[in-house]
């Protein structure tokens, strides 16, 4: 299997050269466009789905949270499977399965569970729908890491997260803010099905790059062996396991702070809920653009160095500022809260190169490395809130924030162990892809 990224882009003329100069692999361009639209469709519900379910079958906010918890478990498992199955089936087939799962179970959720206000079916259909978006989105991420030249891989995954977070929750929530008054929440949820389906079709029908059409694992690797290797790689290649822990720490504080920050900022400090929501928009809006900035910059200054200084150390400082500065200054200094919020969103993007670094640590088992990376992303959704539930009462909000900052320092220490193998460093110098690295390594063993 030979990557066609470089010669194909050369044959496409000026647009392809421009895209490649920006670090966006030209043969995958429509995939990025489709991913953005897909994630907009997925993110439409993000701002209102929990209270909507509570009022339409769940009965209470707590029962609605159980539905979302089941969904979260499915997301975590699917995040792992997206990498493991891409090795066996090829990324495109995994993406197709993810799209089909999302569409089928979301239609059942809306047409049967919600329409009939059936709580049990809500748990089943919405929970199973959770297997959809990670298989689609992270399957495409595996495709990117397989074909993008190693020297520009940081930029390529930066564009991925630009599209991913641009849709979920940012533009998705913006769409809902316009359509809810016109269509109602139920109508908006049906609109999201159409938006997501359109994005999925653009991606799957528009991308013709052939690497993603075929399995990435060698022919002799059996299904059970491939699935096991996607977990065993953590101790066979310890640096990949360490990288997974860094990925957990990356967003665990982000999910944790959303549990208790709204009450503190809206009521204790006195900003009010609308200004808290604006602050959240600033954090994630800044994060979107810095995902791209740090993705591109990391190819020049180094993935490990970017994660260490801008991601881990940067977040350790900025999360402390985000909590303690507004708390000390009070509600009259809201503009300062916006500044420190933007700083946290920017430094959070400093972790973007982890998606380029981990598969580069094991180029012969990219799918396994990506499976662990995605598993870490899913696990963060539980680790952050769990820390809050364990330590908020005994230590208070400030104590929990200090724990989060300490975790980022731990991530900085762990990042020091994430050094690239010689063959990957050589691939970066030769401007070839990880797929070609794996081929050459297999040919010599």
| pLDDT tens digits along 362-404 | 887 877 898 899 999 888 888 898 898 899 999 999 999 999 9
Does residue 149 form part of some domain? yes
User: Considering the chain, what percentage of its residues have pLDDT values greater than 90?
Assistant: 61
User: Considering the chain, what percentage of its residues have pLDDT values greater than 70?
Assistant: 95
Cα distances (angstroms) measured from residue 200 to each of 45, 108, 162, 276, 300: 18, 19, 17, 33, 32
36 and 183 both lie in a single domain:
yes
Does residue 79 form part of some domain? yes
Does residue 100 form part of some domain? yes
158 and 238 both lie in a single domain:
no
65 and 144 both lie in a single domain:
yes
User: In the predicted model, what is the mean pLDDT of residues 257-285?
Assistant: 88
186 and 261 both lie in a single domain:
no
Is the alpha carbon torsion for 359, 362, 364, 369 positive or negative?
negative
Of the residues 216, 250, 278, the one at which a domain ends: 216
The whole domain housing 89 covers: 1-216
172 and 254 both lie in a single domain:
no
What does the alpha-carbon distance between residue 106 and residue 397 come to, in Å, rounded to a whole number?
Answer: 37
Q: Is a pLDDT exceeding 90 seen at residue 347? A: yes
- The set of residues, in sequence order, having a beta carbon less than 8 Å from that of 205 and lying 6+ positions away, is none
Does residue 120 form part of some domain? yes
Q: Is a pLDDT exceeding 70 seen at residue 437? A: no
212 and 236 both lie in a single domain:
no
Does residue 225 form part of some domain? no
Any idea which of 136-140, 274-278, 282-286, 359-363 has the lowest mean pLDDT?
Answer: 274-278
Confidence (pLDDT) at 444: 65
Neighbours of 429 (CB within 10 A): 10
Within a 13 Å sphere around the CA of 149, how many CA atoms are in the beta-carbon half?
22
**pLDDT tens across 149-207, in order?**
888 999 999 999 999 999 988 898 888 988 989 999 999 999 999 999 999 999 999 99
| Domain total of the chain | 2
187 and 324 both lie in a single domain:
no
Of the residues 164, 189, 216, the one at which a domain ends: 216
User: In the predicted model, what is the mean pLDDT of residues 64-75?
Assistant: 87
Give 12's pLDDT tier (boundaries 50, 70, 90): low
Q: Is a pLDDT exceeding 50 seen at residue 301? A: yes
Q: Is a pLDDT exceeding 50 seen at residue 8? A: no
Confidence (pLDDT) at 445: 60
Of the residues 183, 216, 249, the one at which a domain ends: 216
211 and 76 both lie in a single domain:
yes
Q: Is a pLDDT exceeding 80 seen at residue 47? A: no
Q: Is a pLDDT exceeding 70 seen at residue 440? A: no
Does residue 222 form part of some domain? no
Confidence (pLDDT) at 27: 94
Q: Is a pLDDT exceeding 90 seen at residue 104? A: yes
Confidence (pLDDT) at 349: 97
**pLDDT tens across 125-154, in order?**
999 999 999 999 999 999 999 999 888 999
Give yes or no for a contact between 250 and 410, defined as CB atoms under 8 angstroms apart.
no
User: Where is pLDDT greater, at 4 or 351?
Assistant: 351
208 and 236 both lie in a single domain:
no
294 and 352 both lie in a single domain:
yes
Confidence (pLDDT) at 2: 37
Q: What is the CATH number of the domain that holds 67?
A: 1.20.1250.20
Does residue 111 form part of some domain? yes
On average, the pLDDT of the chain sits at 90
Q: Find the length of the chain.
A: 445
408 and 276 both lie in a single domain:
yes
Any idea which of 5-19, 84-98, 157-171, 411-425 has the lowest mean pLDDT?
Answer: 5-19
Confidence (pLDDT) at 438: 66
Does residue 185 form part of some domain? yes
188 and 297 both lie in a single domain:
no
């Amino acid at each position: 299997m030979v990557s066609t990224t470089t010669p194909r882009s050369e044959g496409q003329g000026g647009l392809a050269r421009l895209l490649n100069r920006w670090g966006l692999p030209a043969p995958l361009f429509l995939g990025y466009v489709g991913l953005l639209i897909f994630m907009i469709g997925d993110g439409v519900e993000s701002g209102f789905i929990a209270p909507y379910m509570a009022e339409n079958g769940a009965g209470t906010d707590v029962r609605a949270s159980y539905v979302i918890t089941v969904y979260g478990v499915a997301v975590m498992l699917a995040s792992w499977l997206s990498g493991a199955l891409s090795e066996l089936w090829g990324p495109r087939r995994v993406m197709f399965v993810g799209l089909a799962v999302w569409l089928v179970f979301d239609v059942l959720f809306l047409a049967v569970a919600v329409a009939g206000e059936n709580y049990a079916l809500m748990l089943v259909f919405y929970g199973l729908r959770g297997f959809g978006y990670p298989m689609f989105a992270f399957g495409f991420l595996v495709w990117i890491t397989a074909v993008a030249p190693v020297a520009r891989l940081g930029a390529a995954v930066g564009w991925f997260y630009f599209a991913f977070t641009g849709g979920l929750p940012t533009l998705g929530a913006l769409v809902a803010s316009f359509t809810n008054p016109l269509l109602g929440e139920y109508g908006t949820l049906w609109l999201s099905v159409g938006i997501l389906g359109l994005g999925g079709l653009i991606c799957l029908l528009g991308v013709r790059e052939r690497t993603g059409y075929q399995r990435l694992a060698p022919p002799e690797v059996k299904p059970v062996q491939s699935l096991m290797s996607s977990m065993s790689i953590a101790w066979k290649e310890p640096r990949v396991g360490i990288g997974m822990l860094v990925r957990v720490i990356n967003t665990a504080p982000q999910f944790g702070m959303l549990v208790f920050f709204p009450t503190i900022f809206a009521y204790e400090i006195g900003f009010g809920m609308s200004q808290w929501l604006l602050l959240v928009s600033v954090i994630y809006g800044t994060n979107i653009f810095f995902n791209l900035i740090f993705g591109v910059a990391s190819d020049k200054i180094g993935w490990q160095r970017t994660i260490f200084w801008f991601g881990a150390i940067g977040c350790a400082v900025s999360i402390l500022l985000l909590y303690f500065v507004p708390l000390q200054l009070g509600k009259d200094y809201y503009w300062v809260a916006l500044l420190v919020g933007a700083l946290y969103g920017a430094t959070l993007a400093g972790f973007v190169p982890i998606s380029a670094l981990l598969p580069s640590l094991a180029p012969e088992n990219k799918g396994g490395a990506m499976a662990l990376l995605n598993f870490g992303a899913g696990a963060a959704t539980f680790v952050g809130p769990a820390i809050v539930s364990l330590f908020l009462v005994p230590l208070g909000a400030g104590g929990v924030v200090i724990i989060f900052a300490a975790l980022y320092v731990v991530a900085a220490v762990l990042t020091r162990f994430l050094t690239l193998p010689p063959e990957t460093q050589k691939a970066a110098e030769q401007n070839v892809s990880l797929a070609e690295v794996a081929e050459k390594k297999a040919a010599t063993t």
